[in-house]
Amino acid sequence: MERDEWRKLSLLEAKRLLDSGQVGALELTNACIEAMEASRNLNIFITETPENARLQAQESEKKLKNKEGGVLEGIPLAIKDLYCTKNVRTTAGSKILENFVPPYESTVTQNLLDAGAVFLGKTNLDEFAMGSANITSFFGPVISPIRSTQNPEKSLVPGGSSGGSVAAVAAHIAFAATASDTGGSIRQPASFTGLVGIKPTYGLCSRYGMVAFASSLDQAGPVAKTVRDAALMLSVMASYDEKDSTSLKGNRPDYLKNLNPSAKKLRIGLPKECFENLSDELKVVLESSCQTLRDLGAEFVDISLSMLKYSLPCYYIIAPAEASSNLARYDGVRYGFRAENVGNIADLYAETRRLGFGKEVRRRIFIGTYVLSQGSYEAYYVMAQKVRSKIRQEFEETFQRVDVILTPTATCGAFGVEEGPKMSAVDMYLNDIFTVSANMVGIPGISIPAGTTQDGRPLGIQFLGARFSEQTLFNVSAAFEDATRLKN
């Protein structure tokens, strides 16, 4: 196999080559670094860390030789630039953190390092993870490595906010990447780029060291080329962490070891609300997906989620409210960007925030401040929280009757980079119509590739499950992946 072909393997295939000594960790890392440097036109990385990567790979090589390697020993990964990485700049895609170098490591990235992973660099994202197309980053948009077959010159968005992470994996620069999901930022970009992405149960992965957007909704998770790769990644990323007060106690299972690819007798709920007004292309993909699952022995149950339509409006009250509070810390005093030539402290705050935050972030701060202000608090914030409990209740009741719920991940395939800025804010928000509920309710959701549009742009389907049903989601997804790969 050619050196440049290695990086096109799945993570598990690369792991086999590394573990058996057929490929050296440094050689593999160098191939990925070359690919990273050759793809700079896609603007995938905000910070490249090739020197660190080579040092880590050399360490891994020693460990692999002595058969002391961790489960990800020598595997090159990309890290969303929202995870604090010790002594490596972490920007969250914002000017306000342009020069921020954290003195500590996030728990999730520490877990990956402990397992022997090699970090290639920090990937681009929508500013503070607010967006669905990776066009709000201070560092410019990410261009997807995926192209339409009919219009190959046109640049497409990779989805967002984890656009750099999915692009790094889809371009075969990294074998997998970390991402984060507050309303869909793992699953929608995975759908746009033909990858697997899972947002786990709230509290499964530690949020310590992740730049906060909306604390009751944010969750870490991986994007990967295959279901099995994602299962391995999540097994390493997830852990109980006393440094995060919302981290759930208890051991995390090894999702890969326990994998049982099957959909036999699985009760899959089809919410009628998610199958209305879909494009013909999406309908075709969903129908064939259902057929595949039926052939695998799944049973379908027609369900209705009448509260679903309230998820998105409530999300856009709760997420900005939490964001306005979380982002209050960026005041130009303690760290990050600071405005110059200001006369007094009030002007320092105002100017720093006006110049340091982009338009979308400022919009969210305005909305959040408004819905939390006296006079609006009861009408908006408290009401949204009440509706959130109702949504949760409806999901809990539904999971008495079905094992998983199937929906499309997004309403469409990737759109053009030029089209993004022309969309209204609300049209952009509508990208997350099928994904936000999982965050509102705290349940896991996985997006897996299910087909393409007529011009070859990937389309994903999503499985949602009750809290802690990650293993079930991996099992049905692996069965689906095996069946569809065989078909192709």
Q: Is 367 in the site for ligand GLN (CB under 6 A)?
A: no
- Using the minimum distance from each CB to ligand GLN, give the nearer residue, 132 or 462: 132
Alpha helices in 79-155 (DSSP H): 107-114
Length of the chain (residues): 488
Distance CA 252, CA 468 (A): 10
- Taking alpha carbons only, the member of 434, 447, 448, 446 closest to residue 484 is 448
Given the complex with ligand GLN, which of 130 and 230 has the nearer CB atom? 130
Q: Give catalytic residues, as residue numbers.
A: 80, 161, 185
Site string for ligand GLN, 100-129 (x = CB under 6 A): -----------------------------x
Provide, rounded to whole angstroms, the least separation between the CB of residue 26 and ligand GLN: 35
Binding span for ligand GLN by CB under 6 A among 182-190, 385-393, 440-448, 474-482 = 182-190
Query: CA separation (Å) from 438 to 309, 362, 441?
Result: 13, 25, 5
**Binders of ligand GLN among 186-245, rule CB under 6 A?**
213
- Nearest approach in angstroms of CB 435 to ligand GLN is 8
319 binds ligand GLN (CB under 6 A): yes
Tell me if 267 sits within 8 A of 401, measured CB to CB: yes
CB of 320 to ligand GLN, least distance (A): 8
Stretch that binds ligand GLN, among 105-113, 176-184, 304-312, 411-419 (CB under 6 A): 176-184
User: Could you give the CA distance from residue 97 to residue 31 in angstroms, rounded to a whole number?
Assistant: 30
Is residue 451 classed as helix, strand or coil in its secondary structure? strand
Q: Is 407 helix (H, G, I), strand (E, B) or coil?
A: strand
Which residue lies nearer to ligand GLN by CB, 72 or 196? 196
**Residue 259 touching ligand GLN (CB under 6 A):** no
Verify binding: residue 371, ligand GLN, rule CB under 6 A. Answer: no
Locate all alpha helices (DSSP H) within 171-310, ordered by sequence.
187-193, 227-237, 280-295
Q: Which of 93, 183, 356, 451 touches ligand GLN by CB under 6 A?
A: 183
305-337 residues labelled b (16+ CB within 10 A) or e (exposed): bebbebbbebbbbbbbbbbbbbbeebbbeeebb
Residue 142 Cβ vs ligand GLN, minimum distance, rounded to whole Å: 14
**Which one of residues 85, 90, 123, 161 is an interface residue with ligand GLN (CB under 6 A)?**
161
Q: Does 131 sit near ligand GLN (CB under 6 A)?
A: yes
Among 121, 158, 184, 203, the residue binding ligand GLN under the rule CB under 6 A is 184
Near ligand GLN by CB under 6 A: residue from 130, 256, 367, 461: 130
User: Per the omega criterion (within 30 degrees of 0), is the bond before 10 cis?
Assistant: no
* DSSP SS3 for 271: strand
Tell me the Cα Rg of the chain: 21
Query: Which positions touch ligand GLN (CB under 6 A)?
Result: 129-132, 161, 181-185, 213, 319, 432
